[in-house]
Structure 1
Amino acid sequence: MTVVHPNLEQTEAKMRARSVSVYYGDKKAIDDVSIEIPSEFVTAFIGPSGCGKSTFLRSLNRMNDTIPSARVEGTIELDGEDIYGSGMDVVQLRARVGMVFQKPNPFPKSIYENIAYGPKIHGLADGKDDLDEIVERSLQRAGLWNEVKDRLSDSGTALSGGQQQRLCIARAIAVDPEVILMDEPCSALDPIATAKIEELIAELNGRYAIIIVTHSMQQAARVSQRTAFFHLGKMVEYGRTSDIFTNPIEERTKDYITGRYG
């Protein structure tokens, strides 16, 4: 049973999970998770390695569909629509719920084409001028435009690790998503690049619903307003980030926050 903090004010839910369990074959990786993801906050998923937080994150845009042995039980809704329903277009879903992975994964294309690819295949641009505008706007929002505007034809893979991750965020933004999922987006980056990504998350906050999986409690405390603590496949506790870190209710949360395990 998840402890939800009693002083958690009601907000409009962008995504809603009810009694979600995820299996890999016979192994249950996520056990009966229910949560409402608000549209106007950054929500952090924290917990020790292997606790299921990334698996649950991946279920929010059906990334687990790519794993043959995976199956999902329960209901996950985006704006009230069941994302696992038969009428859901998965390609469209992943445009609405974008994903930024742990390791930067730019396409082996130019910086420009990395951003333009999504809007092209989703028919979001009317001609070259429109596409140019989307590329510039996405790179601006990702805080990368001034660094790359004179070399848009260079390969995206030639950028530094931190720049590549911001390029991947710009690529996610380019298709005008409603939710951005970030799976430990800074774990492969140095402290300076990490600080830039955290600044970017703060700037994007309010424009998109953002969910970040992080192994760093300090990062969760810096960037999020809501935190869910996962342990052994269960969501143990959920509340305002400040309350989770200063006044956790569950003993397991307290032990993790104070460094007794994890």
Structure 2
Amino acid sequence: MRARDVSVYYGAKKAIDEVSIDIPSKYVTAFIGPSGCGKSTFLRALNRMNDTIPSARVEGCIELDGEDIYKSGMDVVQLRARVGMVFQKPNPFPKSIYENIAYGPRIHGLAEGKAELDGIVERSLKRAGLWNEVKDRLSDSGTALSGGQQQRLCIARAVAVDPEVILMDEPCSALDPIATAKIEELIDELRGNYAIVIVTHSMQQAARVSQRTAFFHLGNMVEYGRTSDIFTNPLEERTKDYITGRYG
């Protein structure tokens, strides 16, 4: 994905100010910064989730494989299949584990019959590291799983439609340390197949899981580069102050 001079407004308030960034495939890109700095707003602009907020509007250009995602005639449902989203709180559908995964492939016509759909469900749950835990209870409700399992179910649901990009908005903030470690391990495994963008409040998490980091402050992207450089040798004073805990 490629963003150029992207600004996001809520009514008259400018929440994001002319952000330009390239999001490479097979890398994890972390967005860090203090609360209210615009990182989640910018993340949601990448698959037009801000469209659901009446007062929101986006200026600038965001491209997926060279195609402007905000052009008129863009199929937003199809876009969100290609750019999947995993939210802060796990949000499985009030359906069975099987149906949570099968729903997307079914509506997008990705499976021709039950056997093919079964294969997609199994493959997606395996990719999310959940298959061995749920394979004998696929008819149970997705909401009956633990918090960490629910979040992995949501990741399996996102990968089931074979996206190109996976956006994660603080996917571990509601989870305990053990579940968090499993999600981080999963992110590392998945990055070989997708471009992954994660918003996180935890600088330690950004350092562990990402290869690229963007630091946001007051609606601006202050600095973007290799994660190792951002954390050990930042170019901007504001980045250094945030990394060293002077504010946040």
Instruction: Give the TM-score category using the shorter length.
Output: over 0.9
Question: What is the alpha-carbon distance in structure 1 between the residues aligned to residue 141 and residue 123 of structure 2?
Answer: 19
Question: What is the alpha-carbon distance in structure 2 between the residues aligned to residue 113 and residue 204 of structure 1?
Answer: 22
Residue pairs, 1:163-242, within 5 angstroms? 163-242=149-228
TM-score scaled by structure 2? 1.00
Q: How far is the alpha carbon of 1:206 from its aligned partner?
A: 1.8
Q: How far is the alpha carbon of 1:199 from its aligned partner?
A: 0.2
Matched, 1:42 2:28: yes
Q: How far is the alpha carbon of 1:16 from its aligned partner?
A: 0.4
Question: What is the alpha-carbon distance in structure 1 between the residues aligned to residue 91 and residue 242 of structure 2?
Answer: 31
CA deviations on 1:148-174 (whole Å, 9 max, x unpaired) are 000000000000000000000000000
CA deviations on 1:91-146 (whole Å, 9 max, x unpaired) are 00000000000000000000000000000000000110000000000000000000
Question: What is the alpha-carbon distance in structure 2 between the residues aligned to residue 146 and residue 44 of structure 1?
Answer: 29
TM-score scaled by structure 1? 0.94
What SS does structure 2 have at the residue aligned with 1:98? strand
Question: What is the alpha-carbon distance in structure 2 between the residues aligned to residue 176 and residue 87 of structure 1?
Answer: 22
Identity %: 91
Question: What is the alpha-carbon distance in structure 1 between the residues aligned to residue 225 and residue 106 of structure 2?
Answer: 39
Residue correspondences, number:
248
Q: How far is the alpha carbon of 1:205 from its aligned partner?
A: 1.0
Question: What is the alpha-carbon distance in structure 2 between the residues aligned to residue 88 and residue 250 of structure 1?
Answer: 37
Matching residue of 1:115: 101
Q: How far is the alpha carbon of 1:40 from its aligned partner?
A: 1.9
Matched, 1:70 2:85: no
What SS does structure 2 have at the residue aligned with 1:87? coil
Question: Any runs of at least 4 consecutive aligned residues in structure 1 with deviations exceeding 3 A, and if so which?
Answer: none
CA deviations on 1:7-42 (whole Å, 9 max, x unpaired) are xxxxxxxx0000000000000000010000011210
Q: How far is the alpha carbon of 1:251 from its aligned partner?
A: 0.4
Structure 1 runs not aligned, ≥5 long: 1-14
Question: What is the alpha-carbon distance in structure 1 between the residues aligned to residue 162 and residue 26 of structure 2?
Answer: 16
RMSD: 0.4
CA deviations on 1:180-216 (whole Å, 9 max, x unpaired) are 0000000000000000000000000120000000000
What SS does structure 2 have at the residue aligned with 1:32? strand
What SS does structure 1 have at the residue aligned with 2:240? helix
What SS does structure 2 have at the residue aligned with 1:93? helix
Question: What is the alpha-carbon distance in structure 2 between the residues aligned to residue 222 and residue 62 of structure 1?
Answer: 28
What SS does structure 2 have at the residue aligned with 1:196? helix
Question: What is the alpha-carbon distance in structure 1 between the residues aligned to residue 53 and residue 204 of structure 2?
Answer: 32
Question: What is the alpha-carbon distance in structure 2 between the residues aligned to residue 206 and residue 77 of structure 1?
Answer: 21
Question: What is the alpha-carbon distance in structure 2 between the residues aligned to residue 100 and residue 40 of structure 1?
Answer: 18
Question: What is the alpha-carbon distance in structure 2 between the residues aligned to residue 139 and residue 40 of structure 1?
Answer: 20
Q: How far is the alpha carbon of 1:87 from its aligned partner?
A: 2.6
Q: How far is the alpha carbon of 1:88 from its aligned partner?
A: 1.1
Question: What is the alpha-carbon distance in structure 1 between the residues aligned to residue 191 and residue 116 of structure 2?
Answer: 25
Structure 2 runs not aligned, ≥5 long: none
Match for 2:83 among 97, 107, 119?
97
What SS does structure 2 have at the residue aligned with 1:38? coil
